[in-house]
């Protein structure tokens, strides 16, 4: 009987030990298969969204790990994990991306002013509204003007084909880069615009970065740029933002955590809806971005790059020319206006027709 009890005890101990061993093995195996989030990925800090990394060839021909936002599950390639180094610090630097659709010879006619419009790939109506209004002007006061649209990835082969067809049958005015086109990638989009200007169009005198829902009066803008007191170098102007607090409210669209931008206030910057700058600035801003940790407020980020360069944005001679939002074009004097938020494709056309009807 004692022998039987000993055998039962021994069997019980072995069963417990086996159960514990299997539990440990399962835990380790399960943990090893869990996706690993990079704590330094800035988009996770900003939006608590998912991100994934891929390896691609940059504009310089070097291989980079690049990061972008997606609402889908995390995917991390083995190659990217092996190269998990400080490249996330430079995720907004345009050398991490390359152009899928390009117009490298578009500036061969030496335009005086280049209008760069960041727009979502699917926003065909917005592009067509601009093409039929202020984007249709190729010469203003005897100076050549060029309008181009910059988009990111479309999200599918069918949408990509439609974009390529639009590019081929229109005025060859589309440039596309391989970043995911989302609100939280707006800084990347702006830096890719700067890179295109620096590498494809250095001969231009001025450039305007302008959102797709904006009305632009090119006559008034050209008058400003041709004025004898307008600088031709280190110049950027628009709707200036001074002494702006960094928003730490996580529920805000403009939330930026301290990990990305630790200072309580932004340097002076120009509101991103539409700002004009001398075309010597793009290569300088791109170079400065190598040392500036990226964050998701694109116009403030450009302001941080300018501060590093020791360049202060200039106030417009008449600040009222750079308006924010006008709901009804008929209720305002538009004779001196340069930029304003129209808010929709219909409003862009309405502003255009209203101004043209009074000239």
The pLDDT value recorded for residue 21 is 61
Q: Under 8 Å CB-to-CB from 287, ≥6 apart: which residues?
A: none
- Report whether 84 contacts 65 (CB < 8 A): yes
- Report whether 279 contacts 111 (CB < 8 A): no
Q: Which residues pair with 14 in a beta bridge?
A: none
- Report whether 256 contacts 296 (CB < 8 A): yes
Q: Give the CA diameter of the chain.
A: 113
Q: Under 8 Å CB-to-CB from 197, ≥6 apart: which residues?
A: 114, 116, 204, 207, 279, 282
- Report whether 272 contacts 236 (CB < 8 A): no
The pLDDT value recorded for residue 81 is 31
Q: CA geometry: angle at 241 spanning 243 and 317, to 5°? A: 125
| Cα separation, 67 vs 75, whole angstroms | 11
Full-model pTM? 0.76
Q: Under 8 Å CB-to-CB from 94, ≥6 apart: which residues?
A: 59, 177, 188, 191, 192, 194, 195, 286, 289
- Report whether 111 contacts 145 (CB < 8 A): yes
Q: Which residues pair with 30 in a beta bridge?
A: none
- Residue 53's H or E segment, with its range, is strand 50-57
Question: Per the structure block, which two tokens stand in for 180?
Answer: 């995911």
| Cα separation, 121 vs 181, whole angstroms | 8
Q: CA geometry: angle at 66 spanning 61 and 71, to 5°? A: 145
The pLDDT value recorded for residue 227 is 98
| CA dist list (Å): 290 to 63, 86, 205, 285, 304 | 16, 12, 24, 9, 12
Q: Could you give the dihedral angle defined by the CA atoms of residues 149, 199, 202 and 341, in that order, rounded to the nearest 10 degrees?
A: 30
- Report whether 311 contacts 177 (CB < 8 A): no
| Cα separation, 55 vs 1, whole angstroms | 69
Query: Mean pLDDT per segment of 10 residues, for the chain of length 359 residues?
Result: 52 61 49 34 34 34 34 28 35 80 95 97 96 96 98 92 89 92 90 96 98 96 98 98 96 93 97 97 96 93 98 96 82 86 93 80
| Cα separation, 118 vs 127, whole angstroms | 10
- Residue 5's H or E segment, with its range, is helix 2-33
| CA dist list (Å): 241 to 23, 68, 182, 282 | 58, 28, 24, 20
Using DSSP, state whether 163 is helix, strand or coil: helix
């Amino acid at each position: 009987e004692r022998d039987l009890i000993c055998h039962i005890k021994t069997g019980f101990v072995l069963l417990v030990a086996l159960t514990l061993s299997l539990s440990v093995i399962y835990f380790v195996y399960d943990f090893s298969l869990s996706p690993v989030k990079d704590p330094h990925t800035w988009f996770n800090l900003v939006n608590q969204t998912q991100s994934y990394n891929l390896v691609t060839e940059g504009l310089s021909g070097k291989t980079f790990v690049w990061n972008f936002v997606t609402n889908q599950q995390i995917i991390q390639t083995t190659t990217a994990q092996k190269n998990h180094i400080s490249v996330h610090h430079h995720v907004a630097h345009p050398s991490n991306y390359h152009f899928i659709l390009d117009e490298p010879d578009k500036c061969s006619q030496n335009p005086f002013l280049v209008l760069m419009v960041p727009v979502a790939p699917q926003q065909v109506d917005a592009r067509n509204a601009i093409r039929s209004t202020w984007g249709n002007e190729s010469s203003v006061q005897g100076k050549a003007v060029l309008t181009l649209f910059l988009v990111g990835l479309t999200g599918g082969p069918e949408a990509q084909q439609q974009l390529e067809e639009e590019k081929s049958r229109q005025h060859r005015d589309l440039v596309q880069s391989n970043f995911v086109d989302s609100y939280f990638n707006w800084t990347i989009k702006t830096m890719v615009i700067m890179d295109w200007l620096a590498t494809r169009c250095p001969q231009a005198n001025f450039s305007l970065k302008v959102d797709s829902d904006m009305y632009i009066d090119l006559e008034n803008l050209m008058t400003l740029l041709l004025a004898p007191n307008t600088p031709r170098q280190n110049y950027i102007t628009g709707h200036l933002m001074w002494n702006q607090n960094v928003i730490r409210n996580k529920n805000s669209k403009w939330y930026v955590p301290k990990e990305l931008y630790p200072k309580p206030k932004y340097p002076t910057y120009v509101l991103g809806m539409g700002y004009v700058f001398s075309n010597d600035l793009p290569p300088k801003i791109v170079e400065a971005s190598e040392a500036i940790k990226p964050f998701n407020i694109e116009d403030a980020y450009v302001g941080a790059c300018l501060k590093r360069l020791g360049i202060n944005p200039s106030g417009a001679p008449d600040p009222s020319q750079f308006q924010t939002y006008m709901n009804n074009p008929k209720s305002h004097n538009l004779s001196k206006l340069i930029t304003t938020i129209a808010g929709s494709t219909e409003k862009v056309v309405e502003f255009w027709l209203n101004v043209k009807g009074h000239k």
